[in-house]
């Protein structure tokens, strides 16, 4: 389950007359496998998505969720090896976690709040959700815009003294792939496996179609027409893979005017130098072209489409996770 996919999922469940609970990791210590903000959702028929640990305590969370769906009262549950109950539910990793379990109801997180968050998430709008859990039976939830740009603060936090948990809703990282060749097919599937949002752009319908890109967002058209209609932010990577300047160059010209954190181009070093020369000839500055990663990908030594796709994905993930990014 992607980090924000619980929002439309829960909304859909409630609108289809199910009861459900949302479990959120609010704090961790030691070797706990999941970070604060990790979520798990439980439906009344015991359909479960997501996780709050490495499988250690999910069974207990499901059991508590069943109780909560009956009485409507949220729970704040701590699991740790110091507790006798920890071993009973399997938390043997040496860590400690606190899990907030809320019914989707007015006593927990309401449907109206879920809809508001879902709408913001669909537009890639960052939000902070503030949970005041000082009175567990009367949790107060406030939604606000982040006080800092979203590339500064991503992690959810818990103020134990004031009993305030801040769930930071941030857009999923996304990859926009220009070109629908073989490498793009592999890169799109690998990116989905990494929980990235993926969009593929190409004006050629013989290459870009649902048969070649099942379950992928596809945009048939020229990149200069499609890209302005997409939300491109600091969590966006853009990769051009066609080798055709008529397609790649307009995509790069637009991309360099965005705050995408990664703009990569397929091709040899010689091809990339020719690309830079073309861009400079139309007025792109040296500073702007220095943002381009080309040839895209880290050196893995392979030449197969799957190996090239893997090298590109490894590079864009590595760059996003750099401390100074």
Q: In this structure, are 137 and 186 located in the same domain?
A: no
Q: Which of 169, 187, 211 is the last residue of a domain?
A: 169
Domain span holding position 102: 6-169
- Model pLDDT for residues 251-306, shown as the tens digit of each residue: 999 999 999 999 999 989 999 999 999 999 999 999 999 999 999 999 998 889 99
**Average pLDDT, rounded, for the chain:** 90
Q: How far is CA 219 from the centre of its chain?
A: 20
Q: Is residue 87 predicted with pLDDT exceeding 50?
A: no
How many C-beta atoms surround the C-beta of residue 277 within 10 A?
Answer: 10
Q: In this structure, are 101 and 198 located in the same domain?
A: no
Q: Look at the chain and report how many structural domains it folds into.
A: 2
The label of the residue with tokens 């979203």 reads: 150
25-39, 98-112, 115-129, 168-182: least confidently modelled range: 25-39
Q: In this structure, are 143 and 290 located in the same domain?
A: no
Q: Which of 151, 169, 187 is the last residue of a domain?
A: 169
Q: In this structure, are 163 and 252 located in the same domain?
A: no
Q: Is residue 324 predicted with pLDDT exceeding 70?
A: no
- Model pLDDT for residues 179-194, shown as the tens digit of each residue: 999 999 999 999 999 9
54 neighbors 34 (Cβ within 8 angstroms): yes
The encoded tokens of residue 179 equal 């070109």
Q: Is 325 contained in some domain?
A: no
- Model pLDDT for residues 230-250, shown as the tens digit of each residue: 999 999 999 999 999 999 999
Q: How far is CA 103 from the centre of its chain?
A: 24
Residue 227 DSSP one-character state = G
Q: In this structure, are 302 and 283 located in the same domain?
A: yes
Q: Is 161 contained in some domain?
A: yes
Q: Is 281 contained in some domain?
A: yes
pLDDT bucket at 325, cuts 50 / 70 / 90? low
Q: What are phi and psi of 265, to 5 degrees?
A: -135, 130
How many C-beta atoms surround the C-beta of residue 210 within 10 A?
Answer: 9
**For residue 177, which of 264, 103, 235 has the smallest C-alpha distance?**
264
DSSP states of 99-162? EEEEESSTTSS-HHHHHHHHHHHHTT--EEEEEE-SSTTS-EEEEE--SS-TTT--S-EEETTT
Q: Is residue 90 predicted with pLDDT exceeding 50?
A: no
What is the CATH classification number for the domain harbouring 230? 3.40.50.720
Taking residues 162-173, report their average pLDDT. 91
Q: Is 137 contained in some domain?
A: yes
Taking residues 205-213, report their average pLDDT. 97
Q: In this structure, are 14 and 162 located in the same domain?
A: yes
Give pLDDT, residue 55: 77
Q: In this structure, are 224 and 295 located in the same domain?
A: yes
The label of the residue with tokens 């870009």 reads: 208
134 neighbors 163 (Cβ within 8 angstroms): yes
The label of the residue with tokens 């929980």 reads: 195
Burial pattern 92-117, b for ≥16 Cβ within 10 A else e, equals: ebebbbbbbbbbbbebbbbeebbbeb
Taking residues 207-223, report their average pLDDT. 97
Q: Is 198 contained in some domain?
A: yes
Q: Which of 110, 145, 169 is the last residue of a domain?
A: 169
Q: Is 232 contained in some domain?
A: yes
């Amino acid at each position: 389950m992607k980090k924000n996919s619980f929002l439309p999922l829960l909304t859909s469940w409630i609108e289809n007359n199910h009861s459900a609970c949302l479990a959120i990791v609010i704090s961790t210590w030691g070797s706990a496998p999941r970070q604060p903000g990790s979520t798990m959702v439980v439906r009344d028929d015991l359909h479960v998505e997501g996780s709050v640990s490495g499988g250690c305590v999910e069974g207990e969370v499901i059991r508590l969720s069943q109780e909560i769906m009956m009485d409507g009262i949220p729970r704040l549950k701590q699991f740790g090896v110091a507790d006798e109950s920890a071993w009973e539910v399997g938390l043997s990793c040496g860590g400690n976690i606190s899990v907030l379990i809320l019914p989707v109801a007015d006593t927990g997180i309401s449907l109206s709040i879920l809809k508001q968050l879902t709408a913001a998430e669909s537009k890639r709008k960052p939000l902070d959700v503030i949970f005041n859990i000082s009175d567990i039976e009367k949790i107060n939830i406030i939604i606000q815009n982040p006080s800092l740009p979203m590339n500064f603060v991503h992690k959810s936090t818990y103020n134990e003294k004031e009993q305030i948990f801040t769930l930071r809703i941030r857009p999923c990282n996304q990859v926009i792939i220009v070109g629908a060749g073989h490498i793009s097919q592999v890169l799109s599937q690998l990116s989905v496996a990494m929980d990235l949002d993926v969009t593929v752009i190409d004006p050629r319908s013989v290459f870009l179609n649902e048969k070649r890109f099942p379950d992928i967002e596809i945009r048939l058209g020229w990149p200069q027409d499609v890209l302005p209609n997409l939300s491109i932010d600091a969590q966006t990577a853009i990769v051009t893979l066609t080798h055709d300047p008529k397609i790649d160059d307009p995509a790069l010209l637009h991309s360099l005017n965005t705050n995408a954190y990664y703009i990569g181009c397929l091709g040899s070093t010689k091809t990339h130098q020719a690309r830079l020369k073309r861009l400079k000839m139309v007025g792109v500055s040296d500073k702007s072209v220095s943002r381009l990663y080309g040839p895209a990908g880290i050196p893995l030594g392979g030449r197969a489409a799957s190996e090239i796709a893997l090298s590109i994905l490894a590079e864009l993930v590595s760059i996003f996770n750099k401390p100074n990014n």
